Structure 1
Amino acid sequence: MTSFKAFVSEKVGEKEFSTSIQTKQISDLPEGEVLVKVAYSSLNYKDALSALGKPGVTKNYPHTPGIDASGTVVSSKSSDFKEGDEVIVTSYDLGMNTWGGFSEYIQVPAAWVIPMPAGLDLKSSMMMGTAGLTAAMSVYKLIDKVSPNDGNVLVTGATGGVGSIAVSILNKLGYAVVTVTGKADKVDYLKGIGAAEVISREAFLEGSERPLLKPQFAGVIDTVGGNFLATAIKATNPLGVVTCCGNAASFDLPLNVFPFILRGVSLIGIDSQNFPREERIKVWENVGKDWLPNNLDEISEEVSLEGLNDKINAIFKGQVSGRVLVKL
């Protein structure tokens, strides 16, 4: 019987959780059509929430987090996959209430599994991971309506995983990218990954209580929500497009209808968890063809399962920039 290592979070008190690396057996895995030997995963904000037992992500413990994984098929009950296939598994319920990617093996439904597209490999696909896929989905929806000639595109939360990759992809596609940050020491980092302009948080939010602001952006990719999203919408050009995918600032949206009825601004929500499979495959193929950021090595750092705890604590303190790659 094959034994392997997994990162496990356990409830040890009413509101207290501990994590450890444990030895597990294949028989411990949940039922699934495809058994995958995991090569890489990545650390996302949702993984940190799950690992520390924060409400709203995982209901039952003990639990292995990790909302994404890349690896090689060991066995499959589905004709779509065979032993030796390299695959990507992201989103759906992986790592939330189903055994996740912080494990040397996972077993999942075939519908969750994506064939590795040309141009990507096990490592680069997880340098992207769920954060990169979310960024690519946001770009996918935005560029359908906004071209590089239409004007600047704003990215909020640009030092985070989703924001960093969104900036890089947009820059690669020829867009002039404006970013917002409250971290003065990250200006050079943001310009290095493709930002044409960096606005301070204070300057961006100045006057944000007004019902409309001067139009500045042809499009927006928002990753933080709250007043940042509201301010961005108010400053979007007529017929501009705004995508939103996060709520780190707030899940409330303090906004009036003027941007929508006076400027025709479109707001598009990005749900990476349940994004349709066919479109998901298409987005991954775009990444493999020409959307893959040139600077993934620069915005990624690699840790083992043993190094996860430090990064989980750091992500809550806002001390993680770019992507954290987990090597299994």
Structure 2
Amino acid sequence: MRVDLFDFELPPEHIALRPAKPRDSARLLGVGREGVFRDLSVRDLPSLLEPGDVLVFNDTRVIPAQLEGTRGEARIGATLHKRVDLRRWQAFVRNAKRLGEGNVIEFGAGVTGIAETRHADGSWTLMFPGDEPVEVLLERAGRMPLPPYIAGKRPTDEQDRTDYQTMFASKDGAVAAPTAALHFTPELIEALAGRGVKSETLTLHVGAGTFLPVKADDTTDHAMHAEWGRIDAETADRLNAVRAGGNRVIAVGTTSLRLLESATGADGVIRPFEGDTAIFITPGYKFRAIDGLMTNFHLPKSTLFMLVSALMGLERMQAAYGHAIANGYRFYSYGDSSLLLP
């Protein structure tokens, strides 16, 4: 499909620079396949779901993967986006033309990186020497990797270390938050449990590739960056039992959805999964694992807007986004949410 079909105009004042306080006070747009759009609050979620439904959360934890350093007099910026092994990460590098294989980058606080391999997409494999775990080095020298549409408008600060983590975050490895789950609080989870709504978790380490624009003119020419994920056998069995019992599996966030769909066969059975996924979902895709999606509002011409258009229909999502803009919804990572029930 033509990428420009997924374009829309978003006034910049709709981009949220801070999350709602408290988190579950954010707005929620209810979207079905047809009918009116419902202007709700995230706190309304228990009344929108049925006993026996299950919400699936991503328990990845964002690491401070944004590094600023020098090689000689040249300033070098690096955003880690995918772990290679215990001491190596693949990274998008700013001012990469000043780097060569074997060059050492000084990131401060006693942290150095060695540029080992340049990849075809322009990224580099960086090796971090020493005995300390790389995560410890990042806590010392790194910053939270806020999306460019936020970082371009204000500096990252200490508050972002809390704001940009979900309450489920427990597995280190993401360089972007699974932002739909930022809206959840212990009180909301308790209310959902009281309604009989179940919760499950999986892990998908979100990469910085999620923010890369689609530069191709046609979706068939776009290459997705791979991300590592895991669903264990027990979780897969419980999710299959939910659907077999006639209840719904609702993905919280596009990251949960993408991993669930990657783990599900043509027979609709969710299987244990561990490894990379580069699934790219566009209109025409037949969903196998999920019955709905809770997600924030996405960038124009992004792979994520293509995904929600595949779930609900392009015209329906264009209308929903038009409604959200006209009614003052806040967009992107720190913005409001939507509940899409096809």
| TM-score, normalisation: structure 2 | 0.28
**With CA pairs under 8 Å and 6+ residues apart, which has the higher RCO, 1 or 2?**
2
